[in-house]
Structure 1
């Protein structure tokens, strides 16, 4: 798969926000700590690393087998990208960055994220490339 080759070569790593921007986005200070983060489509984990210091546990999903190994090597709990919601965990924060345009069921993904956030305090960080041009690597 072409994208796996790019990722192995260190190409395509994503910058979305700095640590300072992340804390501003959530309106928390640098010492804020929560229990559980889910980073959907974590790629090489570069963005996950910006967020992980604020969580006691970090779960990630990723389609690429190579990147799943990279993420596991960084100490993250790697969940199946199609079955993570079956775990019935409630997350403090779910990050879904540039994934909705790459999955075959974006509305189902949004519903699963909504149902997996802690009621009242859970936060979703969502980023999308606009204009949306669906490109599905795995699925229909």
Structure 2
């Protein structure tokens, strides 16, 4: 099975594979110069392959249950109730490489919108303590079962969050484009981060497409990020969208770049397809000089 995954990855890159491609590369000539300098080339490693090997679709009962729950709950809540739709973004080794931390860094991790906790678990291996937040009650229950100290909130002013600062690592994995007030969130993250040693790990699906889940509905966010030129509706390229996000959003929010990469954002699939994939931009940031 492992050799099949490796072959599938190679075939995906060469265009000979009918399944979802696993994209790690970028056209560096189309990137902002700061992103070019910070780019880290990653690849499908053993932990990524191990996740793909568990992606065997799902049974008909699970599919029926998911469809039924989707009539009453958000997709996130439905997945939390059923324990399905597990995601994979980065392996432990990839996280260490991007953070430029081969050894434990200690301190506390804050994982905002921690979802199923798979990414949380990877980052937790290099810190001493973990705090998480989630807006999905079923996901909160699952995170607490895994020992990830979670509360149900979207507010970064919640005592559970503020009592743990300053944070050594803050992760925001595929949440920014689903947040109602994303610019406010970035400002609050900057204030929560250790100004000297703290690192902010951000994953965003690109090209950019923002909406907020409200029950079974999707509504526009209250704060609209200045992403013109990098939007999905504009058919922007990955590189253009990443460059716009860095120049128009992350730099003005008071962050400077440590490293940048592209990885497939993998989701365990269903009866139709073993796994689904989107393109994630990964930014590792720190508080910019003069912002602390």
TM-score (norm 1): 0.90
- C-alpha offsets along residues 37-69 of structure 1, whole Å, 9 cap, x if unaligned? 000110010111111121211011111000000
User: Match of 1:37, SS?
Assistant: strand
CA distance in 1 between counterparts of 2:124 and 2:81 reads 22
Q: Give yes or no for the alignment of 1:35 onto 2:111.
A: no
CA contact (8 A) 1:7 1:13 kept: no
Is the radius of gyration larger for structure 1 or structure 2?
2
Alignment of 1:2-81 (within 5 A): 2-3=74-75, 4-29=77-102, 31-81=103-153
Alpha-carbon separation, structure 2, partners of 1:48 and 1:82: 17
How many residue pairs match? The answer is 139
Runs of 4+ in 1 over 2 A off after TM superposition: 6-12, 79-88
Distance 2:151 2:81 in 1: 20
User: For structure 1, which runs of at least 5 residues remain unmatched after alignment?
Assistant: none
- Quote the offset at 1:24 in angstroms: 0.3
Once the two structures are superposed, residues 21-46 of structure 1 have per-residue CA deviations (whole angstroms, 9 ceiling, x without a partner) of: 011011111x4131100001100101
Give the Cα separation in 2 of the matches to 1:80 and 1:114: 21
Distance 1:113 1:52 in 2: 18
Partners in 1 of 2:193 and 2:211 — Cα distance?
26
- The two structures, once aligned, show a CA RMSD in angstroms of 1.7
Q: 1:119 Cα shift?
A: 1.1
* 1:13 CA drift (Å): 1.6
| Structure 2: unaligned runs, 5 residues or longer | 1-72, 215-220, 223-292
